[in-house]
């Protein structure tokens, strides 16, 4: 049984909070004063990476290997993705709320990204890469899908240089919460 009940996690997202597992197995909840977002409508693919996408074909799949994606994200020296976190998100996936973009080449999973959708809000959780650029490929295709499906918000929690190159930036929590309320009321479907 998951340590976090799926309904509690969905409610936390709707209130602007998200969990992270700690080394001791406990769960901490976060609601930063500045919140990272990746604009859906104004998503920017750098020209150099756009050329890379054309020159290096990958197969992109949706939700076919969710458990493998979350385990790929957790497979690092230090991670906040504990067994309890994995259990909860895999249950959310079974319930139709957690989704992933998978990047495949030669029949092998090379990278991916996963998160949770509620209405027109997507809460990005983590990404991984087993081949150079594979996580960026997953992120790009995810953004295109969110735009195509009518999503308003892609919450990235914080902004990293990796996300900033695609237009990711931070906004004050008060502005984020206003955007979040509009987004969760929007009708959008990931699949």
pLDDT of residue 150: 96
Closest Cα to residue 138, out of 89, 100, 93? Answer: 100
The string of pLDDT tens digits covering residues 137-186 is 999 999 999 999 999 999 999 999 889 989 999 999 999 999 999 999 99
pLDDT of residue 125: 97
Other C-beta atoms closer than 10 Å to the C-beta of 185 total: 12
pLDDT of residue 111: 97
Q: Is there a contact between 17 and 29 (Cβ–Cβ < 8 Å)?
A: yes
pLDDT of residue 44: 84
Average pLDDT, 10 consecutive residues per value, the chain (191 residues):
82 96 88 96 88 90 98 93 93 97 96 98 97 94 96 95 92 98 96 89
Segments of the chain assigned E as strands: 18-21, 27-30, 34-37, 59-62, 98-105, 108-118, 121-129, 153-157, 169-172
Q: Is there a contact between 99 and 190 (Cβ–Cβ < 8 Å)?
A: yes
pLDDT of residue 1: 38
pLDDT of residue 25: 80
Q: Which CATH number fits domain 33-78+92-185: 3.40.630.70, 3.40.605.10, 2.60.120.20, 1.10.1520.10?
A: 3.40.630.70
Size of the chain in residues: 191
């Amino acid at each position: 049984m998951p340590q976090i009940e799926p309904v509690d996690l969905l409610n936390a997202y709707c209130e602007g909070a998200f969990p992270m597992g700690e080394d001791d197995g406990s769960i901490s909840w976060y609601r930063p004063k500045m919140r990272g977002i990746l604009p859906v409508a104004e998503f920017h693919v750098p020209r150099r990476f756009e050329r890379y996408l054309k020159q290096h074909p990958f197969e992109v799949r949706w939700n076919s290997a969710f458990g493998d994606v979350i385990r790929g994200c957790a497979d690092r020296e230090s991670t906040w993705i504990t067994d309890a976190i994995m259990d909860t998100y895999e249950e959310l996936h079974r319930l139709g709320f957690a989704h992933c973009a998978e990047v495949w080449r030669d029949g092998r999973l090379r990278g991916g990204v996963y998160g949770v959708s509620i209405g027109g809000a997507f809460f990005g959780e983590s990404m991984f890469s087993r081949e150079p650029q594979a996580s960026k490929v997953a992120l790009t295709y995810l953004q295109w899908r969110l735009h195509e499906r009518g999503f308003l918000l892609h919450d990235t929690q914080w902004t990293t240089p990796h996300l900033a190159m695609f237009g990711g930036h931070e906004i004050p929590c008060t502005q984020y919460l206003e955007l979040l309320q509009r987004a969760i009321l929007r009708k959008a479907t990931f699949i």
